[in-house]
């Protein structure tokens, strides 16, 4: 009798296991979570159950890019002013710094005429910055390309955050 009960119990547990496997959604059929909260709170076999207690306001804000990034600071015709990146190729405060900034700008204009050069004076420094880039990666790529031709400038060139002028800026378009 006990062997019959054990065999029946074993059979029932195998049938229950097969049924459970058939009703559990596979990874391919599971719904894709809409946000990090759904991804963490979802149940999966063998992974436990997570409950997150969070205000609806915070849930609404998570994953949203702040409005200050990518915001247009101003417009002039078809040019938009935004926060972005430029490459600083010179900064000096000697009597010859203005001439040095101008000569470097002339050389850069010859090498890469597609990028604007900006010379500014903020006492006591003359500064030369190049380009208008939305991402640091774009600025680094151009900096590396220019340093391949002008390696002597490598120790005094930096990618800096600055206000940039972007022609025909469309915030909905991918970079």
- Exposure pattern of 45-56 as b/e (b: 16+ CB <10 Å)? eeeeeeeeeeee
Q: In the chain, how many H helices and how many E strands?
A: 5, 5
Q: pLDDT higher for 85 or 58?
A: 85
Instruction: Give pLDDT, residue 44.
Output: 72
Q: What pTM, to 2 d.p., does this model score?
A: 0.59
pLDDT class of 16 with cuts at 50, 70, 90: low
Q: Where are the domains of the chain?
A: 2-61, 74-167
Average pLDDT over residues 141-165: 94
pLDDT class of 174 with cuts at 50, 70, 90: low
pLDDT above 70 (res 1): no
Instruction: Give pLDDT, residue 101.
Output: 97
Instruction: Give pLDDT, residue 26.
Output: 47
Q: What is the CATH superfamily name and number for domain 74-167?
A: Sporulation related repeat (3.30.70.1070)
Q: What value, to the nearest 5°, has the Cα angle with vertex 59 and ends 53 and 60?
A: 155
Alpha-carbon gap, residue 139 to 145, rounded angstroms: 10
């Amino acid at each position: 009798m006990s062997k019959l009960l054990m065999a029946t119990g074993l059979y029932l547990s195998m049938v229950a296991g097969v049924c459970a496997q058939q009703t559990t959604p596979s990874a391919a059929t599971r719904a894709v979570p809409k946000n990090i909260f759904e991804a963490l709170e979802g149940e999966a076999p063998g992974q436990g159950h997570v409950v997150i207690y969070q205000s609806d306001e915070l849930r609404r804000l998570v994953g949203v890019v702040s409005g200050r990034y990518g915001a247009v600071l101003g417009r002039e015709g078809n040019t938009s002013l935004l926060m972005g990146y430029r490459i600083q190729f010179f900064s000096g405060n000697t009597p010859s710094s203005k001439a040095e900034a101008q000569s470097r700008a002339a050389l850069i204009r010859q090498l890469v005429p597609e990028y604007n050069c900006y010379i500014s004076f903020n006492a006591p420094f003359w500064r030369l910055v190049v380009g208008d880039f939305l991402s640091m990666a774009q600025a680094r790529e151009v900096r590396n390309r220019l340093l391949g031709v002008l390696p002597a400038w490598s120790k005094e060139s930096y990618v800096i955050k600055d206000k940039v002028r972007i022609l025909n800026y469309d915030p909905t378009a991918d970079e």
